A and B are shown apart, each in its own frame.
Chain A
């Protein structure tokens, strides 16, 4: 089900830009190595077909036999698929990237009549049959043995109940701890140190409430900030609210209950999300940010439906050095089904079936987007539905970054042409870069509203792939 065989996919739309290709590189060094291979000299027997969308060729390396490299551009849910006979363990390897760069440069023959060579079609067939087998297997286990399915469903229900009661017990303990804190007073909490929170957090991990544990582990960072008593009280109050909400889980509306579950840290299976309803749209990739968290690299990708205007967040995780989901490249768009994780309001999503190849994202029209006021309205609505929200994406049509005055108050602001402003936070898109892109003019900005202000994420017009003819100008008139 998840895998899309090449024949289902339409013809390759636009040829990719070099940036789209380099966006697939697992590391900067790989991109540099690929650039060196992006000249016709080492290549022979290159070719490409639109249907199925594949590019192939042989690359003369240091060895005697050339490496056979092929890329299936349609690939599957995680992006294009790669095959190379080189010994590199990188996926994609420099040969695959170099080949794609060559192709993006128009230096690979692409013709209707060309047939992929034997080794390429064999690989494609193998891939599609493997995908089919997996789908069949899944279908078989569901259909063939209804009794087993029932058993496993009953087992799942039992496990779910177990988890709920474990979490309930843990959260009750947490509540007692929270009450103790405010009864005795928060004064002096900043001197208690890291260990006190860690002990409670560990208890929450045992209670299978990792979301709550995460909040508790971030508290020592709050304590070293200016005005920590306020912020600590906020955090305690919201944790208390979560405990109360969890206690009443069965009486909550389904959407809110899902939000509470996800905040506590109940897992949601990818398959369940993908089995849920989908929103089909042409999803444009607005921004991408990688951060290191808990020995994992987290990639956040912000999508926007070109017809619905809906924003979505796709997360992927990988151990450091391992490639992350490379299927969504900023500046591109793909017609696809998007499945949102159950929550109100929905934000996190998974990409399901893709109905087209990757193309270029349409330019955003500032006239159809709201300003800062509208963004704050969206933020308020999101908070009303999910008070635990700490960041909500917004698109602002006419954002003007204001650099810190060289006075004592060295703060950045994000203003709009009317002169209204909110604090502009560090940690996303570099603020000097944002200022350079704006040149003091209003621009379309993707940002995240947070309790402390707005964190800039990306300037969609400055995406490398957004306009191939000219460089990233990034200034909307």
Chain B
């Protein structure tokens, strides 16, 4: 409407500067405007009111942008109302751990997240990447569809191809795009290398080899770590090159990877040095381990180890990069038997430390399991991480039954066991709770237990609490734990 623009101009300039001509208004408003009388201000304001209303009332739908492609139908039913309300409670609290449990339970019961809750869930998944797969699995097709409609959610769409339906096509994993490697940022490059390494280890190594040395230290570390996947003897030459890196950390990482290849030149060299220093000797009918200090000094001096080390540190370093298989073959014993051997002259702690680092570097589950008993809190998690999840719970359970442990260690051990906990571990946990001297330091473990102990143990927890004075600090803590477990039990019941 041209007349409206003229009115706005007149109003901006002021009627004493600009005359108002309402005769120019489009039909049929011109006839109404012609009846307006009064001074210029009166006419301007009245005509503007007329046009404002006409423009507002006369709005017609414009041809909009094309609507989004409709989402595929979801075969699975959404969760019942109570569960939807609980989901909202978990999202707004927020409680990520229980949310994850809720999501897993939702998936296992063949239900899905109600659409109205999806925006909040996707926001959470976008900010907490570890929750993304669970959210996308529980969200069904609708979640993937919604995520694809918004830039900051779009990376989520690739997670969790809908379950309960056959996968489309042969391979769900897309072929990584070479452009990501050539032109991508650090994260994209690492993702490309990781995906390629899983498909074709040689190509990935060659790509890294051609490009080596141009990245920052952090990037070199991140990229080199990828080679742990699918490591083989053909990687040795490149790792040797990486070992001479100007960064100590990169160099140690390369050395660690080489120690995972028992036939590599470095591994053989370290094995020879270590065997010269650490020997199993028989004294008065018992075997024990002895460290030849003179040999240690000599070996460290002669070797071409770039690092300047001596004494206990030197020995620890030797052990860290010596393939663990060396000792098993040399002494014909299991890791457990080796660790039980007496050690002369107070070297036991050094040996334990060196082997612990070796077990973590070489991801040796048998050694890690054997070392667990004597590990301190710092290394416990790293060792547990080496052990397959299925074995972990059993080891933690027997460690719990094995006697007094520092509360922080208990927390760390239990943390490494993802829910659901098997019976053996759960029983051990309840027995541990019943046996321990109640100390405020155990509350951390109790908090964790309340969140992970299967809800079938709610009764056992209630019995523990009944034995306590309700108003004592520990009784109080048990009461809290009990209500957390009741909350989880209700949460699972609501999902049907």
Contacts and interface: CB of A to CB of B under 8 A. Distances in A.
Interface of A: 17-19, 22, 28, 31-32, 35-36, 178-179, 182-187, 229-230, 233-234, 236-238, 240-241, 244, 372-373, 376, 379-380, 383-384, 387, 400, 402-403, 405-406, 413-416, 419-422, 430, 432-433, 435-437, 439-441, 451, 462, 464, 468, 470-475
A419 B64 contact: yes
A79 B95 CA distance: 34
Given A436-B146, A471-B77, 5 more contacts: A28-B89, A376-B60, A402-B68, A435-B68, A468-B81
19 contacts: A182-B14, A182-B44, A182-B45, A183-B14, A185-B13, A237-B52, A241-B46, A387-B52, A400-B67, A402-B67, A406-B151, A413-B65, A414-B64, A422-B64, A436-B118, A439-B142, A441-B70, A464-B84, A471-B78
A468 B84 CA distance: 12
Interface stretch (B4-12, B158-166, B243-251, B270-278): B4-12
B368 interface: no
Interface residues of B, number: 66
A413 B61 CA distance: 10
A178 B81 contact: no
Contact of B64 (A237, A241, A402, A439): A402
A183 B77 contact: no
Given A28-B92, A439-B145, A472-B114, A421 B45 contact: no
A440 B49 contact: no
B380 to A, nearest CB: 36
Contact of A179 (B41, B56, B114, B149): B41
Interface string B354-384: 0000000000000000000000000000000
Given A237-B52, A439-B115, A380 B57 contact: yes
B113 to A, nearest CB: 9
Tell which of A28, A230, A236 has the most Cβ of chain B within 10 Å.
Answer: A230
A363 B42 CA distance: 51
A331 to B, nearest CB: 10
A244 B46 contact: yes
A403 B490 contact: no
A32 B92 CA distance: 12
Contacts, number: 193
B101 interface: no
A436 B116 CA distance: 6
A470 B78 contact: yes
B81 A471 contact: yes
B65 A237 contact: no
B64 A420 contact: yes
A471 B79 contact: yes
Contacts of A244: 46
6 nearest A-B residue pairs (beta carbon):
A421-B64, A185-B14, A420-B61, A471-B78, A237-B48, A440-B70
A383 B56 contact: yes
Nearest to B68: A440
B15 interface: yes
A35 B85 CA distance: 11
B188 interface: no
B62 interface: yes
Contacts of B70: 439-441
Contacts of A28: 89, 92
A434 to B, nearest CB: 9
A419 B52 contact: no
A471 B81 CA distance: 6
B28 interface: no
A420 B44 CA distance: 34
B15 A183 contact: yes
Contacts of B48: 233-234, 236-237, 240
Interface in B37-73: 39-42, 44-49, 51-53, 56-71
Contacts of A384: 53, 57
Given A28-B92, A182-B15, A421 B68 contact: no
Interface of B: 4, 7-8, 10-17, 39-42, 44-49, 51-53, 56-71, 77-85, 89, 92, 114-116, 118-119, 142, 145-146, 149-151, 483, 486-487, 490
A472 B118 CA distance: 12
Contacts of A471: 77-81, 83-84, 114
Contact of B85 (A22, A236, A416, A419): A22
B21 to A, nearest CB: 15
Given A182-B14, A185-B12, A373-B61, A432 B81 contact: no
Given A229-B8, A229-B12, A233-B11, A470 B89 contact: no
B46 A240 contact: yes
A240 B45 contact: yes
Contacts of B83: 471
Contacts of B10: 182
Contacts of A35: 490
Contact of A185 (B17, B45, B52, B119): B17
B150 to A, nearest CB: 7
Contacts of A32: 89
A437 B71 CA distance: 11
Contacts of B85: 18-19, 22, 31, 464
B162 to A, nearest CB: 14
A178 B48 CA distance: 13
Contacts of B82: 18
B61 A372 contact: yes
Tell which of B12, B39, B46, B85 has the most Cβ of chain A within 10 Å.
Answer: B12
A237 B49 contact: yes
A472 B45 contact: no
Contacts of B150: 403, 432
A421 B62 contact: yes
Contacts of A419: 63-64, 66-67
A384 B53 CA distance: 8
A76 to B, nearest CB: 28
B81 A464 contact: yes
Given A406-B151, A413-B65, A421-B62, A472 B41 contact: no
Contact of A19 (B45, B53, B81, B146): B81
Given A403-B149, A470-B78, A471-B84, A436 B61 contact: no
Contacts of A31: 85
Contacts of A468: 81
A90 to B, nearest CB: 19
Tell which of A31, A435, A464 has the most Cβ of chain B within 10 Å.
Answer: A435
Contacts of B151: 406
Contacts of B42: 179
A178 B57 CA distance: 24
B119 A432 contact: yes
B68 A184 contact: no
A35 B81 CA distance: 13
Contacts of A241: 45-46, 49
Contacts of B71: 439-441
